[in-house]
Structure 1
């Protein structure tokens, strides 16, 4: 199993304890520990990278208890809510006047006057203008209850947002109270097995678990591709080459 970003901070915490200078250490050991930890401590200092690693650690069921900054859960919740609100379809709104009546009758009257009048010559500027967008035609019943339909849309959208927020709080609370899993467990398999319990957190967790902690796996894929696409196989189609590389790395 390839290392994930959720393991980076827990490993650094463990290494910091190992490379702490103790009283019984010799001068050589002290210098070695200081040199090694001095190099490691300079990494991952960017706020963006640090926040990403903290969120990845929080969403790893093996190391979620090692998160020191409590604000990481607020960031996870914000990203989850932002993704859900972006995915939700915005209701189609009609143009209404101040009295809640559509402006279609006015448009139809103007169109009728233009058709009855004498045809005018179209200018070059008018020809260059794009055609106007067609508006949805409302039935008389929809025009009569247009104001009430708008209120229903706003209420439904508000209830949907409240429902998602409530479900997010519930899943986060259940996940935080759950005891951490064993280090040997596969976090991706754990999330998939609990997809019915944490349907919202599952999508956010997979977006972090897919990020590798090092470039070693990608370098191995490039090496495999170099062995697969050789001069003796110069006529191999791209689709077949992708299938061969996939089978080599996953079977």
Structure 2
């Protein structure tokens, strides 16, 4: 409702101001009807609704409004519409009605969990959540389960016969050529011990999915949040080699739109053109 109102606001303003639609009211008569309290209420109303209007634009007019920005926007709206000392009865009434409606959104547990996870996966808002540890525990468990499932589904290489004890004639008949061992260069011989140590350590570092994921998540969480103007999708793409495991499941959250308004706008434009 609010999104559509924002889209139609220029047309509504033009219709209200068009003298052919609305009869002209003499300025003096209009001023007689308006009291100083009316002007004060109008100013309060504009101030109260400006944040809601801006929030609506964030999810309906931005180029890539991701679902990770929903909860940070709601938190800002909650702060804005909380009752404060000194609020007039008019302002309190508006705040209560607006927040009563907004607070009932996204109450489904699965949707709420998804939005929390999408928020921490958005590098702009990852520090905005209070229960970060619980959210990351859920994400880590889901990611490990998915990675292990993918690893189990990979095709198992067939066992190859050992080259030991295979004579040349048998190798030629089966189309197999015994690899030729080239002598080590002087540089390889000089750093042979270091090379062997690296070959022994590397498989251990990359073999355990849990440890790799934990390390990449800790590195991601230790980074500062990026500016709000930055593109989170582009940021993850640039960090895909640094955080390959979180990058894979970050895409699942970043591709979810915060609002269906942009797609609806495209649908309407195609229908009428």
Q: Place the TM-score, normalised by the shorter chain, in its bin.
A: 0.5 to 0.7
SS in 2 for 1:21: coil
In structure 2, runs of 5+ residues without a counterpart are 1-62, 163-203
Residue 109 of structure 2 is aligned with which of 47, 51, 65? 47
What is the distance in 2 between the residues matched to 1:47 and 1:192?
30
CA-CA distance at 1:224 after TM superposition: 3.9
Match of 1:208 in 2: 253
Does the 8 A contact of 2:205 with 2:212 survive in 1? Answer: no
Write the deviation string for residues 20-71 of structure 1: whole angstroms up to 9, x where unpaired: 1111111010000000001000111111010000000010001000111221
What is the SS of the residue equivalent to 1:81?
Answer: helix
Runs of 4+ in 1 over 2 A off after TM superposition: 89-93, 138-141, 159-162, 223-228
Number of residue pairs aligned between Structure 1 and Structure 2: 168
- The two structures, once aligned, show a CA RMSD in angstroms of 2.4
TM-score by length of 1: 0.61
SS of match in other structure, 2:127: helix
Alignment TM-score, normalising by the size of structure 2: 0.57
CA distance in 2, matches of 1:48, 1:227: 37
CA deviation string 1:194-235 (max 9, x = no partner):
11111111111111000001111221231243256xxxxxxx
Partner residue in 2 for 1:169: 214
- Mind listing any 5+ residue stretches in structure 1 that lack a counterpart? 94-135, 142-158, 229-251
In the other structure, the counterpart of 2:149 is 86
| Conserved? CA contact 2:206–2:212, under 8 Å | no
CA distance, structure 2, for counterparts of residue 91 and residue 202 of structure 1: 20
Match of 2:227 in 1: 182
